[in-house]
Amino acid sequence: MSTQQRPSVISMPRSRRSPWRTMTNYLSQETIRNAVERLGQSRANSALTDYLVFKRALVLANMRADGVTVETVVTGLRAPDYVKAVDELTRVADEGERPHFSPFGARRDTGLGYRSKKYPSNGPSDTVSRWASWPSRPLEHVAGTSPKQFKPIFRTAHELEEILLIKGNNPKSSGRKPLLIDLAIWLHRGSAVSDDDLKDSGRGLVESTKAALGVTDTEIEGLFSVEASAAELLTVVTRVAPVDYLPVPPTQAQKAALPSSASVASVGEADVEDVIGFVAARGFVFDPWQVAAFITAARTKPFVILAGISGTGKTKLPKLVADATGAHLRHIAVRPDWTDSSELLGYERLDGTFVPGELLRVAREAIDNPDQQFFALLDEMNVARVEYYLAEVLSHIEEREWTHDKQIHSAALAPTARDTEWSAVHLPGNLCIVGSVNMDETTFGFSRKVLDRSFVIEFSTVSLSVVKSVEPTQDAQAWDVSRWRPSALSLGEHPLREDKDVERIVAALETINQALAPVQMQVGYRVRDEIAMFVLSARDCADSFVSEDQGVINTLDLAIAMKALPRIQGSGVAIRAALEQLLQWADPAATAESTTGLTREAFPFCADRISMMLQRLDDTGFTSFWL
């Protein structure tokens, strides 16, 4: 992460600076570091940062309003006041994966207070959106606004304390409210300060901060302690770099902690064959490749969607695999009335008590049992719009990273929960989310955001003539949890990233993108990485990627069908041209000449689906991947 400090954070009014000063001074490394440490140990929830972003954005908007009172905050990367407020309160670097930092509650945060580069777009606004069902919410979404706008609601000091400060005992908390002077120090971390600012234990800094944030006496009473800092406010003549006063970021402190071959147990061919035999012994009809694909997908990324017609065993497969490997499966039935994440992550009752959601409970159970693998099955997940209730979870999946002890962690799932028992629960590395979906006229489709972040395994081909007998119970062979651990979280950190197979994968995807570019449906880096990691992981059980009649399945063919083709839908000449070009690539024998320029490798999985999509386009004038 770059440690170059951005320009002055909060500009000081000229009238408050002494005319006799001949040298610019800045707060010292020690002063800022101590303030950051105290804020990190205070009772302040990380959501306090998000709240103050809105307060600062409102002040900035009114400063530019030429006397007209502005009562709402416009969010989004195109809202200059909002972006400036985010930068002033959180930005500590100009580049890198985690250029933002929230000092409040940093000691209790698995990310040590650091926030990803996506924080401006989905951080503060997501926090406020989660407050929608809270009776004491201090900000409210203005219905019908796009981009979203929020307006403040008056709350008493007690109500603000209830929602933005944690309660109860926590070993990583001092049990005290954050000092207002420490917030002032944080906001002036890159600003020039004067002697007047530092008099009376920093009274000038405090007054400047109150004005910059527009905080009221009621807000100060509920959220802060106005005690002076016990330490002297020291200055230096040069601006201090963030690296000198911030905790070491996880991405730097744990760089050497990426999993080694010793920490990631490989899954052997015999292991997967045992699972396939376990499933078959219970009378269920699955091709060996379907079981192998599910296991490989779950080991690559903890979000797998099982799609297809009803009655094909989509819900049963993860249960059987869990039973065969000694893992635990928790069933969560999705309901049509889910419009936000409250049922999964939790919500607050009218009396102020926090009710944890079903997924939050499973995540907590997985954290408490790190030596066991867990699956959370979202049954019939598309009876409601997945983007509405799962968006925050999808973001957390993308932000996973390694810890110093070679575990995987994400940011807290419900950081605004006032109950400290739940506010730090995150997505652990031993939890995989599985969704079962029926693709018919009674359900919702998937956006590209969801498809890009999941592996989609289809169960639509059935052989009704096959009836398997139920054999005597076969003992399960429990897997060590490390067998479910991915080799890497991105292709860039994968030990086989320079493998010849990766070159072949990239060449295939570049050809696909050439065909999809005219209709703007190309795949991106995320899809590239996950297809490559799936194919590399599938080597562990290559002999299991066969059909019931022992036909060999090309894992790259399968991965492209799972990750790239589901994004294609539409009508018209451009869609037809894209599909026809893809068919030439997938089935070289289908045409006398191929215009793709790719070597003559056949992809029968993709070819079958593309042919079906073209036929549907002929029949109905519209096509999609789904039946």
Specify the pLDDT at position 12: 44
Give yes or no for a contact between 327 and 375, defined as CB atoms under 8 angstroms apart.
Answer: yes
Q: In this structure, how many other beta carbons lie within 10 angstroms of the beta carbon of residue 50?
A: 27
Q: Tell me if 115 sits within 8 A of 90, measured CB to CB.
A: yes
Q: By C-alpha distance, which of 379, 386, 456 is closest to 625?
A: 456
What pLDDT, on a 0 to 100 scale, did the predictor assign at position 418? Answer: 62
Q: What is the mean pLDDT of each run of 10 residues along the chain (627 residues)?
A: 50 42 74 89 86 91 85 83 90 82 81 80 69 73 79 88 75 81 90 83 88 92 84 77 79 45 59 88 85 94 88 85 93 92 86 86 92 94 90 88 77 71 86 89 79 86 52 69 89 86 91 94 92 92 80 90 92 94 85 47 87 93 84
CA distance 181 to 167: 22
At 2 the pLDDT is 46
The residue extents of the domains of the chain are: 14-248, 267-486, 489-627
Euclidean distance between CA atoms 394 and 50, whole angstroms: 20
Q: For 603-626, b where at least 16 C-beta lie within 10 A, e where not — what string? A: bebbbebbeebbebbeeeeebbbb
Q: How far apart are CA 389 and CA 433, in angstroms?
A: 14
101 phi/psi in degrees, rounded to 5: -145, 135
Count of C-beta atoms within a 10 Å radius of residue 252: 13
Q: What angle do CA 382, 384, 389 make, to 5 degrees?
A: 105
Which 3 state secondary structure label does DSSP give 100? strand
**CA–CA distance from 602 to each of 258, 365, 418, 527, 553 (Å)?**
36, 45, 56, 21, 11
Q: Which amino acid is at 276?
A: I
Of 166, 53, 176, nearest to 423 (Cα)? 166
Domain 267-486 in this protein, CATH class: alpha beta
pTM for the full predicted model: 0.64
